[in-house]
Amino acid sequence: MSGCKRQRDWDENQVCRSCGIDYSPPEPQRESAQNTSSKSDSFVEESSSTDSDDEQSEESDPHETENILRPFHLAFPVDDLPTARKFYTEILGCTTGREKDESCVFNFYGHQIVAHKVPKMPKLSTSPVDGKKVPAMHFGLVLEWGDWHQLKDKFETADVEFVIGPYTRYEDQPGSQATMFIKDPCGNHLEFKSFKDDKDLYAFCRLFYGYFEGIYSLTDFFKPVSYTHLTLPTKRIV
């Protein structure tokens, strides 16, 4: 018998071809083996399903924002809501969303801006930029090069008054840009700018920080989620 086991001369039913002894396991062991195999198969299927779900979850992660531009939100004051509404819809081409007696939502080139009625507009402060007095608080857009020139022509045709007329800021320097400033009827200032190369959007040089040598780009540290422009006043720059 031991010779049979050592030689393993068995048929497909685990019966020795030499002596005819049945070496197959008892029924309970067979069932246990079948159950184990079944559980193992089930586990593999569940694991495969879980892995598939995880992969699908990773592909559709709602928090993944790389290469996805999200709308920007900005609220600003106006002391004459109907006049402001006319300006933003007719001159800037915005569409309106929710409207109330005290506020109006605008679709500003895909971004949400909201005009809030106030009894008195805040005082204007300016800051020197490239030899010009730039309104310290303003917002606007970074447009494609061709779109910027089309908007400039539209402003000129509509006799929109420029606070700072169209010109090239930092010409022949890092961060060179086409820019222009206008203001709405309530005194809010808007800047529209454009770069021939969007990489210059975050370029700065020695003129900006006097002790820096060479040119640096902040795009290595973060990516813009949207080309909306906003400038805020501050008393101190650290």
pLDDT (0 to 100) of residue 218: 37
pLDDT (0 to 100) of residue 201: 82
Whether residue 36 lies inside any domain: the answer is: no
What CATH number corresponds to the domain at position 151? 3.10.180.10
Whether residue 33 lies inside any domain: the answer is: no
Whether residue 32 lies inside any domain: the answer is: no
Whether residue 118 lies inside any domain: the answer is: yes
Low-confidence ranges of the chain (pLDDT < 70): 1-10, 12, 17-68, 204-238
Whether residue 61 lies inside any domain: the answer is: no
pLDDT (0 to 100) of residue 160: 95
Whether residue 161 lies inside any domain: the answer is: yes
Does pTM top 0.85 for this prediction? no
3-state secondary structure the chain: CHHHHHHCCECCCCEECCCCCECCCCHHHHHHHHHHHHHHHHHHHHHHHHHHHHHHHHHCCCCCCCCCCCCCEEEEEECCHHHHHHHHHHHCCCEEEEECCCEEEEEECCEEEEEEECCCCCCCCEEEECCEEEECCEEEEEECHHHHHHHHHHHHHCCCCEEEEEEEECCCCCCCEEEEEEECCCCCEEEEEECCCHHHHHEECCCCCCCCCCCEEHHHCCCCCCCEEEECCCCCCC
Number of domains comprising the chain = 1
Whether residue 236 lies inside any domain: the answer is: no
Domain hosting 221: range is 73-231
Whether residue 48 lies inside any domain: the answer is: no
